[in-house]
């Protein structure tokens, strides 16, 4: 128990929590945008890899850090456009398209990396984002600007979804596309826009890992974070605020297990059990939420205009 | 002469072989309530969907307020001042009333919703037309009447000057309907023009200035409401067509084979049974008339084994009827569902697999886990041949069959018994000839009559009155989940049935006709 | 963009579609090869040679194809019933660990029983482990409507971590000098080699046999009919008397079992023990293969050999040319998307607004 309190009392722990949560916040917001519009985007795992790679490569080739972030966002948006064309334009299966895009984006990234750096064994590094020590806010000033961006995006996206006409249109096409079409809103255009925007966020989420958390691109870097975001969206009942909470919770568990490994308790319980906790908790949360899920009602139902 | 606000000129629309609208021309004048009357399938909903832009007409044009209306574009219709209250509400349950109404009214590039102003405007419109709503309420939690008010407000909020109401009282209680009529009065007083679709004669006469009657896609009559009687309207609606199909009288009526006693299904909404009693005897056809949506689906589901009853008793011969398709088929119940391509066959499987699908578990076609393919194929071929199912052969996917052939397949599957299963005892046929051509209709009717003559009990549920009167030895009428008594067909008249369809008790309906 | 259903099967489309898909894939990968600065035709030549050009190449391809076919079959039976099992990766590892638990040497709970008893027991344990792992998410979907995509995905991570814990602890191979690998399988439980001096093992025969069995099941049994009907149209299936819950449970058990067997057969045929990296994504690969095969069990054999051949060929080619081996996955991903679009275009025409 003491160990527990020791860990929680140490600010370094909370710093790590927030740092680990950052890509999850961004990724979950991205999936959230797609799903609120009624589309399941399983391409996130691959898009995060692509964002990590292209963002890092851009910086390596001389762009400033924020330029790298922009490139990552554009990469995500491009894959998002592909996803939208296939699932909205051609009404193909959202599951299969998403998995196909994950495979495509991942393999293209790994391929591109190897083509660019054929002979290196240790990944070349860049100078990542620096901590924002000027801020003066505890815990936050040990983070990099991308974390601040992620935190700011939560209320921004919440506002956009709930208080702007565009956000309302996005929500409506995810609930009842016939109603949207009948009130003059193009379902195809709105869904495409939401998918592209959400995928751009996923790209930025990936770039956090190479431009902030680490300073190089490794294989298997994303390691399932994208899938966790898909679960976190359901856990968050498709709300940005709850998405933040979920991401923080996951970061909490992840940071905790790392420290517990080194403590006394770590000798008794295998560290893998701690690592399992966040995933297990996600499943439990899903089950609890399922009973009263405020599902976007048109989620995963393809919409064909004018079909009887 | 009041100004003409809307002109539909020879609107024509086809869905495949079905001619839904046949060169219909109509005018609407300012401040007028025009009722569109007709049975299910007459073409009313299609016509207004074209007006609102959900579909494009194949031929014909529309003029609103003197300007031509671009087809197939709801946004253009909205801009022209046309609003529509759909029969099946287009509302997002998870969003608030205000959200549903306001969506699409502001430019998508505006960075904020003028929420306060919108709420004020909504409440103002609501007050003016007597449609109280709570803007922040979640639509999913509202009653049906409240939801309809939101659907109406969607149009009024946008300043609609022509309002289309598609069967608005179909889902309302009598009190809510009264409320709606008051609202209609207020709308007309404010200068709106209304198209009111209904099949309910009393309402139509009460609420409208003029009535236009559609039947089988054509406009068959136009009259002023003040000059018309219910009997006249009923007559136009169901048609005084010479009955080409004459009924072949039944032979001896045998023992009761299926009995419903005070059967009720749970749930709310129109698709339920409310204290239904009926006895089906061997050697007779009982036909159920009525407008779709009054519980017919529930009745069919209960007898086909896909829904359980909540109260009352349901017997097949001397056993309680189980909600289990395999059990029913084994005991000789032949089921013909309403939705032949969505429920009757599995479109992606082959024709022959569908021909044996409901008997697959019997000893004739399976040995333990294995399908006795040869035997099954043979029986399937037998079905296809006997019932003249054409189109691609036994190996083609079932979805490739035309409507008529699909129906013949379903009939053959249901009527041709196999060893081990009881011979056909009871036939449950729901809309058996919907969408079929004349030849296929005759085929189906022949088979049903032949089965009756062979000693089965036949139940036919249909919203086609010609069919009901041509087939039924006894006829009952379904309305709001309840069934009239099943009376000999000869004692009914068309008009009396038409009245009973609208809820008038059969004794009154018959008495009025006799008078 | 608008889709319009074609009224009749255009025979032009039936030919153009797969041709278009192949052409698209070849063009995309050609672009990548050019980016790497290598000659395109020579690359393709070496790739084909490396995967299919010699007995050795073929043997490598078939070795790689074995687990892919099995996970492909797992995905096929599940997706056919519209149960989206993304958890084959975890089910594979669960099966592998279960196999070693039953059949491992000292350290693991290897039982002391004759091989003719132990071998089927080992396989049964693997199948059971995989089956039970998928049963949970399937029941959650049936009873509570919980989306199985997410639950099966998350379980992959949990299982992998659990296997990791076992490998660090009770099932660790003491002779492996600290390297996290499991105890090894008893020698006589290992699968024999099909061709001497190669890695291809009798697991391939099992894979082919199971593909044939699954095909027979789908075509000749009542359960197969039920599965196909349920996946095609659940309402119509229920109307015809298909027992929905029972069928779905059967599908989950079958799919999980096949993935579990993939793990056991990999252990028994290729590695001999369990490590955390024994599967380079076979579970996910199976899904791609199932889609490429159009959810046809025998097609899975062809698709599995295709994907394995491309991967093995790319490995070999990349040793000779400066084209990274990852081009294999790009080819597979591109073909998957191209096949999807091509299949759609045989049924629908695209109209630009």
pLDDT, residue B243, reads: 42
Partners of B84 in the β-ladder = B164
CB C104, CB C185: distance < 8 Å: yes
Is A188 within 8 Å of chain B by CB? Answer: no
For B224-340, where are the alpha helices, taking DSSP H only?
Answer: 230-238, 296-304, 325-330
Q: Does A185 touch chain B (CB under 8 A)?
A: yes
Whether residues B367 and B425 share a domain: the answer is: yes
Q: Identify the residue whose tokens are 């197969």.
A: C224
Q: Is the pLDDT of residue C221 over 60?
A: yes
- Note whether B221 and B278 are same-domain residues: no
Question: Would you call C31 an interface residue with chain A, using a CB distance cutoff of 8 Å?
Answer: no
Q: Write down the pLDDT at residue A293.
A: 60
Query: Which residue of B72, B328, B346 is the best one to mutate when testing the C interface, meaning the one whose CB has the most C CBs within 10 A?
Result: B346
Q: What is the 3-state secondary structure (H, E, C) of chain C?
A: CEEEECCCCCHHHHHHHHHHHHHHHHHHHHHHHHHCCCCHHHHHHHHHHHHHCCHHHHHHHHHHHHHHHHHHHHHHHHHHCCCCCCCHHHHHHHHHHHHHHHHECCCCCCCCCCHHHHHHHHHHHHHHHHHHHHHHHHHHHHHHCCCHHHHHHHHHHHHHHHHHHHHHCCCECHHHCCCCEECCECHHHCCCECCCCCCCECHHHHHHHHHHHHHHHHHHEHHHHHHHHHHHCHHHHHHCCCCHHHHHHHHHHHHHHHHHHHHHHHHHHHHCCCECCCCCCHHHHHHHHHHHCCCCHHHHHHHHHHHHHHHHHHHHHHHHCCCCCCHHHHHHHHHHHHHHHHHHHHHEEEECC
B93 with A297: Cβ contact below 8 A: yes
Q: What is the CA radius of gyration of chain C?
A: 21
Would residue B404 count as lying in a domain? yes
In a domain, A271, yes or no: yes
Quick one: B313 and B429 in the same domain? yes
pLDDT reported for residue B321:
92
Q: Give φ, ψ of B326 to 5 degrees.
A: -65, -45
User: Rounded to a whole number, what is the distance in angstroms from the first to the last CA of chain C?
Assistant: 5
Q: Residue B471 maps to which CATH number?
A: 3.40.50.300
Point out the domain boundary residue: B207, B238, B269: B238
- Structural domain includes residue B270: yes
User: Does the residue B122 lie in any domain?
Assistant: yes
CB atoms A90 and C350 under 8 Å: yes
Neighbours of chain B (3+ CB pairs under 8 A): A, C
pLDDT digits (tens, 9 = 90+) for B125-149: 998 888 889 999 999 888 878 888 9
Number of domains in chain B: 2
Using CB atoms, pick whichever of B326, B343, B347 lies closest to residue C241: B326
- Chain A residues lying within 8 Å of C36, measured CB to CB: 115
User: Which tokens in the block code for residue B391?
Assistant: 């189109």
Q: Which domain holds residue A59?
A: 2-119+143-290
Q: Residues B401, B273: one domain?
A: yes
User: In this complex, do A114 and C326 lie within 8 Å of one another by their Cβ atoms?
Assistant: yes
DSSP state of B140: G
Does the structure show a pLDDT above 90 at A166?
A: yes
Question: Using CB atoms, which residue from B75, B90, B110 is nearest to A178?
Answer: B90
Q: Give the position of tokens 């009259």.
A: B223
Interface contact B247, partner C, CB < 8 A: no
Question: Is A263 part of any domain?
Answer: yes
Residue holding tokens 């000839």?
B433
Same domain for B228 and B265, yes or no, is no
Chain A residue numbers touching C347 (CB-CB < 8 A): none
C-beta separation of A296 from A175 below 8 A: yes
Q: Are residues B304 and B416 in the same domain?
A: yes
Chain C CA closest to residue A269: C165
A11-36 pLDDT per residue, tens? 889 999 999 999 999 999 999 999 99
CATH 1.10.3470 assigned to domain C39-321? The reply is yes
Q: Where does residue B269 rank: exposed (0-12), middle (13-18), buried (19+ CB within 10 A)?
A: exposed
CB distance A165–B92 less than 8 Å? no
Q: Does C216 touch chain B (CB under 8 A)?
A: no
pLDDT band with cut points at 50, 70 and 90 for residue B244: very low
Residue B114: its pLDDT value, please? 87
What is the band of C114 on the pLDDT scale with cuts at 50, 70, 90?
Answer: confident
Indicate the number of domains in chain A: 1
Instruction: Look at residue B269 in the predicted model and tell me its pLDDT.
Output: 66
ipTM of the prediction: 0.87
- Residue C1 with chain A: CB contacts under 8 Å: 85, 89-90, 188
Q: Are residues B171 and B269 in the same domain?
A: no
Which residues of C are less than 8 Å from B337 in CB distance? 239
Last residue of a domain, one of B204, B238, B272: B238
How confident is the model over A44-53, as pLDDT tens digits? 999 999 999 9
Chain C residue numbers with beta carbons less than 8 Å from the beta carbon of A237 are: none
Asked if the structure places residue A147 within a domain, the reply is yes
For residue A105, the distance in angstroms to the closest alpha carbon of chain B comes to 32
Summarize the confidence of residues B89-100 as an average pLDDT. 90
Query: Measured between CB atoms, does A111 come within 8 Å of chain C?
Result: yes
Q: How confident is the model at residue A140 (pLDDT cuts 50, 70, 90)?
A: confident
Cβ contacts (< 8 Å) between B55 and chain A: which residues? Answer: 306
Q: Residue A27 maps to which CATH number?
A: 1.10.3470
Domain that holds residue B145: 4-238
Structural domain includes residue B244: no
Give the CA count within 13 Å in the CB-facing half-sphere of B330.
15
**Whether residues B234 and B279 fall in one domain:** no
- In this predicted structure, the answer to whether residue B493 has a pLDDT above a threshold of 70 is yes
Q: How far apart are the first and last CA of chain B?
A: 39
Q: Tell if the CB–CB gap between A276 and C157 is shorter than 8 Å.
A: yes
* C322 lies within 8 A of chain A by CB: yes
- With contact defined as 3+ CB pairs under 8 Å, the chains touching A are B, C
Is residue B342 in a domain? yes
Distance of CA A299 to the CA centre of its chain: 19
Q: Answer yes or no: do C157 and A227 touch at CB < 8 A.
A: yes
CA atoms within 13 A on the CB side of C104: 28
Q: Is C157 on the interface with A (CB under 8 A)?
A: yes
> Among partner residues A42, A86, A107, which is closest to C330 by beta-carbon distance?
A107
């Amino acid at each position: 128990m003491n160990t527990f309190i020791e860990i929680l009392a140490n600010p370094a722990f909370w710093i790590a929590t927030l740092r680990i949560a950052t890509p999850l916040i961004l990724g979950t917001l991205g999936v959230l945008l797609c799903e609120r519009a009624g589309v399941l985007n399983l391409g996130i795992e691959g898009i995060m890899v692509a964002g990590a790679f292209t963002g890092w490569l851009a910086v390596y080739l001389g762009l400033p850090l924020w330029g790298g972030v922009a490139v990552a966002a554009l990469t995500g948006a491009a894959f998002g456009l592909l996803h939208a064309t296939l699932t909205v334009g051609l009404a193909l299966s959202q599951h299969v398209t998403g998995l196909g895009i994950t495979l495509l984006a991942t393999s293209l990234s790994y391929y591109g990396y190897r083509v660019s750096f054929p002979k290196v064994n240790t990944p070349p590094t860049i100078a990542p984002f620096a901590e924002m020590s000027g801020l003066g806010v505890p815990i936050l000033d040990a983070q990099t600007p991308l974390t601040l961006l992620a935190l700011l995006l939560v209320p921004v996206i919440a506002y956009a979804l709930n208080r702007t006409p565009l956000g309302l249109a996005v929500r409506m096409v995810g609930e009842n596309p016939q109603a949207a079409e009948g009130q003059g809103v193009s379902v195809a255009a709105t869904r495409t826009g939401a998918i592209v925007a959400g995928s751009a966020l996923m790209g930025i989420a990936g770039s956090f890992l190479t431009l902030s958390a680490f300073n190089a691109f490794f294989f298997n870097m994303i390691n399932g974070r994208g899938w966790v975001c898909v679960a976190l969206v359901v856990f968050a009942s498709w709300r940005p605020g709850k998405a933040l909470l979920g991401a923080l919770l996951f970061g909490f568990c992840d940071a905790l297990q790392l420290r517990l490994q080194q403590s006394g308790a770590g000798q008794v319980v295998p560290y893998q059990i701690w690592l399992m906790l966040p995933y297990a908790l996600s499943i439990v949360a899903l089950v609890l939420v399922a009973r009263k899920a405020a599902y976007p009602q048109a989620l995963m139902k393809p919409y064909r205009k004018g079909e009887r | 002469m009041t100004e003409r606000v809307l002109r539909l000129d020879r609107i024509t629309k086809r869905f495949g072989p079905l001619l839904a609208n046949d060169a219909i021309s109509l005018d609407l004048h300012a401040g007028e309530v025009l009722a569109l009357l007709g049975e299910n399938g007459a073409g009313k909903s299609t016509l207004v969907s074209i007006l609102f832009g959900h579909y494009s007409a194949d031929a014909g044009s529309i003029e609103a307020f003197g300007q031509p209306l671009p087809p197939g574009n709801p946004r253009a219709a909205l801009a022209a001042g046309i609003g529509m209250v759909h029969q099946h509400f287009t509302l997002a349950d998870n969003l608030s009333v205000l959200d549903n109404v306001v969506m699409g009214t502001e430019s998508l590039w505006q960075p904020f919703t003028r929420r306060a102003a919108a709420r004020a405007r909504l409440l103002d419109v609501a007050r003016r037309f007597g449609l109280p709503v709570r803007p922040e309420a979640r639509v999913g939690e509202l009653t049906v009447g409240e939801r309809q008010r939101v659907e109406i407000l969607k149009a009024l909020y946008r300043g609609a000057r022509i309002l289309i109401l598609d069967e608005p009282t179909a889902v309302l209680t009598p009190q809510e309907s009264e409320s709606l009529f008051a609202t209609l009065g207020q709308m007309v007083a404010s200068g709106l023009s209304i198209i009111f679709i209904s099949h309910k004669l009393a309402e139509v006469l009460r609420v409208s200035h003029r009535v236009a009657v559609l039947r089988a896609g054509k406009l068959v009559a136009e009259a002023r409401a003040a000059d018309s009687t219910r009997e006249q309207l009923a007559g136009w609606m169901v048609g005084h067509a010479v009955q080409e199909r004459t009924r072949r009288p039944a032979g001896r009526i045998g023992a009761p084979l299926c009995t419903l006693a005070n059967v009720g299904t749970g749930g709310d909404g129109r698709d339920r049974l409310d204290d239904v009693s009926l006895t089906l005897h061997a050697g007779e056809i009982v036909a159920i008339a009525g407008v779709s949506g009054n519980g017919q689906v529930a009745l069919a589901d209960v007898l086909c084994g896909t829904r359980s009853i909540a109260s009352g008793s349901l017997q097949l011969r001397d056993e309680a009827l189980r909600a289990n398709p395999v059990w029913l088929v084994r005991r000789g119940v032949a089921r013909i569902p309403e939705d032949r391509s969505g429920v009757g066959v599995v479109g992606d499987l082959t024709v022959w697999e569908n021909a044996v699908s409901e008997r697959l578990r019997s000893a004739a076609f399976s040995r333990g886990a294995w399908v006795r393919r040869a035997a099954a194929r043979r029986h399937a071929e037998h079905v296809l041949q006997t019932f003249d199912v054409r189109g691609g052969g036994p190996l083609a996917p079932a979805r490739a069959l035309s409507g008529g052939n699909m129906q013949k397949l379903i009939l053959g599957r249901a009527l041709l018994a196999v060893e081990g299963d009881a011979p056909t005892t009871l036939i449950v046929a729901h809309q058996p000839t919907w969408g079929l051509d004349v030849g296929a209709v005759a085929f189906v009717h022949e088979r049903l009559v032949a089965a009756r003559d062979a000693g089965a009990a036949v139940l036919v549920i249909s919203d086609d009155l010609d069919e009901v009167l041509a087939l039924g030895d006894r006829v009952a009428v379904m309305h709001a989940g309840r069934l009239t008594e099943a009376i000999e067909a000869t004692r009914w008249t068309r008009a009396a049935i038409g009245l009973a369809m609208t809820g008038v008790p059969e004794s009154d309906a018959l008495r009025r006709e006799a008078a | 963009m608008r889709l319009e259903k074609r009224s009749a099967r255009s025979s032009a489309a039936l030919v153009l579609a797969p041709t278009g898909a192949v052409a698209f894939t070849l063009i995309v990968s050609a672009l990548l090869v050019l980016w790497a600065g290598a000659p395109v035709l020579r690359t393709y030549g070496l790739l084909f040679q490396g995967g299919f050009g010699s007995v050795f190449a073929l043997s490598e391809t078939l070795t790689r194809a074995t687990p892919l076919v099995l996970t492909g079959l797992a995905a096929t039976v599940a997706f056919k019933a519209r149960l989206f099992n993304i958890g084959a990766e975890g089910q594979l590892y669960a099966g592998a660990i279960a196999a070693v638990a039953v059949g491992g040497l000292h350290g693991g709970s290897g039982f002391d029983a004759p091989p003719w008893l132990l071998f089927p027991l080992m396989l049964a344990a693997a199948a059971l482990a995989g089956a039970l792992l998928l049963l949970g998410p399937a029941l959650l979907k049936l009873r509570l409507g919980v989306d199985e995509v997410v639950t099966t995905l998350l379980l992959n991570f949990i299982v992998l971590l659990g296997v990791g814990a076992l490998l660090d602890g009770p099932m660790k191979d003491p002779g492996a000098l600290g390297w996290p690998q499991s105890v090894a399988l008893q020698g006589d439980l290992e699968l024999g080699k099909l061709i001497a001096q190669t890695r291809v093992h009798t697991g391939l025969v099992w894979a082919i046999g199971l593909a044939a069995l699954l095909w027979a099941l789908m075509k000749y049994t009542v359960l197969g009919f039920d599965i196909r009907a349920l996946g095609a149209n659940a309402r119509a299936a229920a109307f015809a008397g298909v027992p929905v819950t029972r069928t779905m449970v059967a599908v989950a058990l079958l799919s999980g079992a096949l993935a579990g067997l993939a793990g056991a057969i990999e252990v028994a045929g290729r590695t001999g023990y369990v490590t955390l990296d024994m599967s380079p994504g076979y579970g996910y690969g199976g899904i791609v293969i199932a889609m490429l095969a159009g959810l046809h069990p025998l097609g899975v054999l062809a698709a599995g050999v295709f994907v394995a051949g491309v991967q093995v060929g790319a490995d070999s080619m990349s040793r000779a040319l400066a084209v990274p081996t990852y081009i294999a996955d790009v080819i597979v991903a591109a073909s998957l998307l191209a096949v999807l679009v091509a299949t759609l275009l045989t049924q629908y025409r695209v109209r630009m607004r």
